[in-house]
Amino acid sequence: MSELFVCYNGTEDCIRILNENELLLNGKKVRFEVHKVNPYFLILRAGNRNYRYTFNTRDEKQIGFLKDGSYFRLSVQNKLEKTIEEISSHRQGTETVFNIKSPMPGLVLKVKKQVGDVIQINESVMILEAMKMENDIKSPASGIIKEILIKEKQSVDKGTLLFRIE
Round to whole Å and give the CA distance between 151 and 83.
Answer: 46
Regions of the chain short of the pLDDT cut 70: 1, 9-10, 57-61, 68, 88-95
The pLDDT, as a whole number, for residue 89 is 62
Q: How far is CA 135 from CA 13, 24, 60, 94, 100, in A?
A: 55, 62, 59, 30, 14
The pLDDT, as a whole number, for residue 22 is 87
pTM attached to this predicted model: 0.44
Stated as kind and residue range, the H or E segment containing 133 is strand 133-138
**DSSP assignment string, 75-124:** EEEEHHHHHHHHHHHHHHHT---EEEE-SSSEEEEEE---TT-EE-TT-E
Q: Which residues touch 79 (CB under 8 Å, ≥6 apart)? A: 3, 5
The pLDDT, as a whole number, for residue 105 is 93
Q: What is the DSSP pairing of strand 143-148 with strand 124-130?
A: unpaired
Domains of the chain, CATH where assigned: 2-93 (3.30.700.30), 98-165 (2.40.50.100)
Return contacts of 26-32, CB within 8 angstroms, 24+ apart: none
